[in-house]
Amino acid sequence: MASMAQWVWPAVRALRLWGPGGERAWARRPRIAGRRTPVPFSAGVSSIFGSGGSSEKEKLFLQDIAELIQARACQRVVVMVGAGISTPSGIPDFRSPGTGFYSSFQHADVPYPEAIFELSFFLHNPRPFCTWAKEMYPGNYRPNIIHYFLRLLHDKGLLLRLYTQNIDGLERVSGIPGSKLVEAHGSFASATCTVCRRASPMEDFWAAVMGDRVPSCAVCTGVVKPDVVFFGEALPQRFLLHVVDFPTADLLLILGTSLQVEPFASLSEAVRSSVPRVFMNQEAVGPLSWRPRSRDVLQLGDLVDSVERLVELLGWSEELKDLVQRETGKLSGQDR
């Protein structure tokens, strides 16, 4: 068996080109189409774990992934998610032309849409960000079936870690514990003064934002910023868990991310080459498009449909339905 050092090196190598804050990367390729008849389960297992025979690797399909999970051949699942998992909850993504958040800021008081997430611009003019943050007020949006599928993975003891680019906090609302989460771009769970660096109560932050005021520190009157990672800022310390998680994973699920923001995007390359990667998205993007592996599964199209298809193949449809009803009922009770 390979040593831990051998497993960790690919993860470190994949991220060595980027600093802690990362840079934006733009990688987009045409959608990949075409299907084959799924290979038998035995072929799928041998292609992943080795059969001692030919080095030719069998192509995997979603059915094979479901059978591997059912057989407990994959028990350490790492998940990467982006804005696409929250759009079914009504939260726009960032880059979709005409409907994304960035499109809504094209005529606002910003030099370019991404500026609302740049620290230097925020310190100069925090109001555009505060206007956007008002939309993210807790309770405005609720988890959807994708979040609850990930919660079900956790409930079944299969979720090693969930790495999310989202700052909406819906993973937590769905019931996934913080110990299983790496919120790579921070969240609205806490806030800090940009001057004295003291923690600021979130209720004070939201009271100011909902009242169309700039949140200010009660101690030094400095501008208060939620602990969302802006461009140029260091990622949270928990992000370093990738050094251990990805080399030990036996399945990688990538859902609803454009794989355009580094260093998060390069995590898709950090699992061992023998590990299946399942990519569910509207279109093929990033390394899974231009440098696919033989054990990659691309499920392109509507994300909810893709997740429901996997759930059906796993035989979890009724369990997921019951979970959604139970958790939705709890949230409705909290609103009364």
**Which pairing describes strands 186-193 and 199-200: parallel, antiparallel, or unpaired?**
antiparallel
283 labelled ligand-binding: yes
Active site positions, annotated: 185
217 labelled ligand-binding: yes
85 labelled ligand-binding: yes
DSSP conformation class of 285: B
94 labelled ligand-binding: yes
198 labelled ligand-binding: no
Q: Work out the number of other CB atoms within 10 angstroms of the CB of residue 42.
A: 11
Contacts for 86-89: CB closer than 8 Å, 24+ residues apart: 86/141, 86/144, 86/166, 86/168, 86/170, 86/256, 87/256, 87/303, 88/144, 88/145, 88/146, 88/303, 88/304, 89/141, 89/142, 89/143, 89/144, 89/147, 89/168, 89/170
83 labelled ligand-binding: yes
DSSP conformation class of 112: S
Asked if 183 and 164 touch (Cβ cutoff 8 Å), the reply is yes
Q: Work out the number of other CB atoms within 10 angstroms of the CB of residue 135.
A: 14
166 labelled ligand-binding: yes
Asked if 217 and 224 touch (Cβ cutoff 8 Å), the reply is yes
CA 267 to chain centre: 11
Name 329's Cβ contacts closer than 8 Å, sequence gap at least 6: none
220 labelled ligand-binding: yes
91 labelled ligand-binding: no
**Which pairing describes strands 186-193 and 224-228: parallel, antiparallel, or unpaired?**
antiparallel
What's the angle, vertex CA 171, arms to CA 332 and CA 284, rounded to 5? Answer: 125
196 labelled ligand-binding: yes
Residue 60's nearest CA partner among 277, 231, 250, 280 is: 277
Strand order in the sheet with 181-183: 181-183, 159-164, 77-81, 251-255, 277-281, 296-300
Q: Work out the number of other CB atoms within 10 angstroms of the CB of residue 262.
A: 18
| Token pair belonging to 314 | 């796993």
86 labelled ligand-binding: yes
95 labelled ligand-binding: yes
74 labelled ligand-binding: no
258 labelled ligand-binding: yes
Binding-site residues from annotation for Zn(2+): 193, 196, 217, 220
Binding-site residues from annotation: 83-87, 93-95, 165-168, 193, 196, 217, 220, 257-258, 281-283
Binding-site residues from annotation for NAD(+): 83-87, 93-95, 165-168, 257-258, 281-283
